[in-house]
Amino acid sequence: MDYLAGLNPQQRAAVENTEGPVMIVAGAGSGKTRVITYRVAHLIQKGIDPFNILVLTFTNKASKEMRERIEKVVGSEAKSIWMGTFHSVFAKILRVEAERIGYPSNFTIYDTDDCKSLIRTILKEMQLDDKLYAANIVYNRISSAKNNLVSAAEYINNPTILAEDISNKRPELGRIYKAYWDRCYKAGAMDFDDLLFKTNILLRDNPDIVNKYQHKFKYIMVDEYQDTNHSQYTIVKKLAAAHENICVVGDDAQSIYAFRGANIQNILNVERDYPDLKVYKLEQNYRSTQNIVEVANSIIANNKNQLEKNVFSSNEKGDKIKISRAFTDNEEGKLVAEAIVQERSGNGLNYTDFAILYRTNAQSRAMEEALRKLNVPYKIYGGLSFYQRKEIKDLIAYFRLTFNPADEEALKRIINYPRRGLGDTTLDKVSVAANEHGITMWQVICAPHQYLGGRIPNQLNDFAMMIKAFAAESTKLDAYETALYIAQHSGILKDLHSDDSVEGRARYENIQELLAGIKEFAEREDIEDRSLAIFMQDVALLTNDDKDKDKDADTVSLMTIHSAKGLEFKNVFVVGLEENLFPSQMSVNSRADLEEERRLFYVAITRAEKKLTLTYATSRYRWGTLTSCEPSRFINEINPSYLELDALKQAKPSYSSGGFDTERKSWSQQRELPQRPTTQQTAFKPKPTTSILPKAHVPTAGFTPNAAHEFQMGMEVEHEKFGFGKIVQLEGKLPDVKATVFFQGLGNKQLLLKFAKLRIVK
């Protein structure tokens, strides 16, 4: 029992009390991972079969780290624990039970690109305006519906939903959703949201399956419970119903993902769900200095909607938190870069000890320029993943089609790559024939003379024979041998090898790197199934935190605060602490939104171990126009006794801190899984039938529009007539780029940027 000796009394109590419902409120830096891993190890030491333990995390990285720690305590038995992300665990269950919901066990998992490609195909077939029904907007609407357990049939039969879509001038969304639902089903494919939605359906419609997994998972632990959405909540609640040996771990103060469906009420209402709940609070922060912890506490105390806790640190008091004011965002970057160089050389630190955190990706520009001028190496997190590169997606599409020929997105991607004379005209004919006969495109390709009139390209037969040969070889070869065979015989390796450009060589090397990764996977001894199909599932389920990170390079880390969650650095700079940037302009009119922004600031502060610097600019330089800025309200919320105030003038900002709405209500708060499609159900909260028109907008003094090439997704902008808004979609090529801009009180507007007269706010 030596592993219990290093725990503090609260941690130990949380580890040892394994029976019944438990909530562990884990403050930032409080040893949460240690408690979870030791709690699981303790269960196994008590004689619980690891096959009866389910641990759900939000990243593969987290589950890998936990499993390794558990293995150090209990040995190889740790390999038998059901541990992983929600999506990976329930994808595994769906592979076993797929036929119960009408899916093949080898179903494909569509990534976001696949989903949007399918949506664009449906829009083209329905002859709908792809500007009004932008793929990104449609995808997000479908994703929100699924996360709230609203099926396509329920969507189109719900008058409230229909009224909402009509008011947004997108009355065909339901029909698109239904077509998308049907096409995924026909292709034997599920998107990310389906992995949870279909699990809910599986459990809803099959009492014997529910009973099977309720008694299999006698002990359930859920990490980062504050980040769960409604779909995840219902699965966990149902699986835990038999034994109620459920332990949820999280921190409501770090709930920052409402924009992607997370519902903070899940953690705030645990006691309502489990009246016999035992609560353990991990309040000692082992990561940060006392000053940093106290600053974080003083900030989060301003939130009304939270669980009571008192986070403290027994570490050194530490430096006071420095606030630096710059006159422009470029000067802000210069101040930060110079501070990093000075701090690194003066204290013998590495570049990896430093992180620059910002609210929006656009803020990285000034930081990058300043770091480059001082030759400071840096890495931006959140860039293009290795598995999102074209050549990698192309080869994986061949793998997908080999194991699931019904996968039409994979088929469309590679039927003419490398070029084999099967262009868009042929593909359109195949698609039309498939739709007319209610079959898959693959079935048409395998019998072209039966379904296609006129002259049939011989290349169709050659393509079908090639894919069938890949499938046959896959039954005889291991994952690596299969992958290499497909890479060679598809023509991809030859095509890339013949490209002598720098880019071509890089793409060829990327394919070699992928094959090396598959070889390593095929030689692993810690997993039973080392097939190429399982490797593809692992790739499809990688979370952003798991992808393409060079951990060995000595670089300063630049990232959004959302990307920084779960990380820690000795020195942290939080930049852009300005009103309408942080908190965001889109978040200051609702208490719920403002509290989420404050939690985001709390997360940023608590990434720092030793030193924290907050910076802001009094103006942001925008292509010849200086926009005046004022310090964020969050700065004024910090207890000044913890601050180094030399650079800060205590001028009171002009914003008002009152007048917020009551708690935001939305369709995301629907609580129960719908039983069957019915016109009686109301999945969405109805919008008011009347509204007050906004006052005419008065442009900012000195209003000067920006050029079309300067705009990026996510930027906040000002229009002379419509007022302030945010760019949610950009489409087309210069000079004819069209933007979808969301304006407060007006909804989305489609604007041609070369005529729109928009000014970049930030």
The set of catalytic residues is: 32-33, 223-224, 254, 607
How far, in Å, CA of 141 to CA of 730, rounded? Answer: 17
Helix (H, G, I), strand (E, B) or coil at 549: coil
Cis peptide before 631 (omega within 30 of 0): no
Identify the helix (H) or strand (E) that includes residue 279: strand 278-282
Determine how β-strand 556-560 pairs with β-strand 354-358.
parallel
Secondary structure, 3-state, 599-630 = HHHHHHHCCEEEEEEEEEECEEEECCEEEECC
Phi-psi region of 435 (alpha: psi -120 to 50; beta: other; left: phi over 0): alpha
Contacts of 547 (CB under 8 A, 6+ apart): 385, 386, 387
CA atoms within 13 A on the CB side of 342: 6
What six digits make up the tokens of 421?
A: 């004379």
Determine how β-strand 747-752 pairs with β-strand 22-26.
unpaired
How far, in Å, CA of 388 to CA of 393, rounded? Answer: 6
**Which residue stretches of 348-389 are H helix?**
364-373
How far, in Å, CA of 635 to CA of 322, rounded? Answer: 11
How far, in Å, CA of 64 to CA of 59, rounded? Answer: 9
How far, in Å, CA of 253 to CA of 256, rounded? Answer: 8
Beta bridge partners of residue 39, listed in sequence order: none
Contacts of 422 (CB under 8 A, 6+ apart): 415, 416, 457, 459, 460, 463
The span from the first CA to the last CA of the chain, in angstroms, equals 55
Nearest to 177 by CA among 148, 149, 142, 150: 142
> No. of H helices and E strands in the chain?
31, 22
How far, in Å, CA of 620 to CA of 715, rounded? Answer: 13
How far, in Å, CA of 366 to CA of 388, rounded? Answer: 27
* 8 Å CB contact between 36 and 249: yes
For 195-240, the DSSP string reads HHHHHHHHHHH-HHHHHHHHHH-SEEEESSGGG--HHHHHHHHHHT
How far, in Å, CA of 695 to CA of 590, rounded? Answer: 19
Nearest to 706 by CA among 733, 737, 731, 732: 737
How far, in Å, CA of 293 to CA of 288, rounded? Answer: 6
Neighbours of 389 (CB within 10 A): 16
How far, in Å, CA of 86 to CA of 430, rounded? Answer: 37
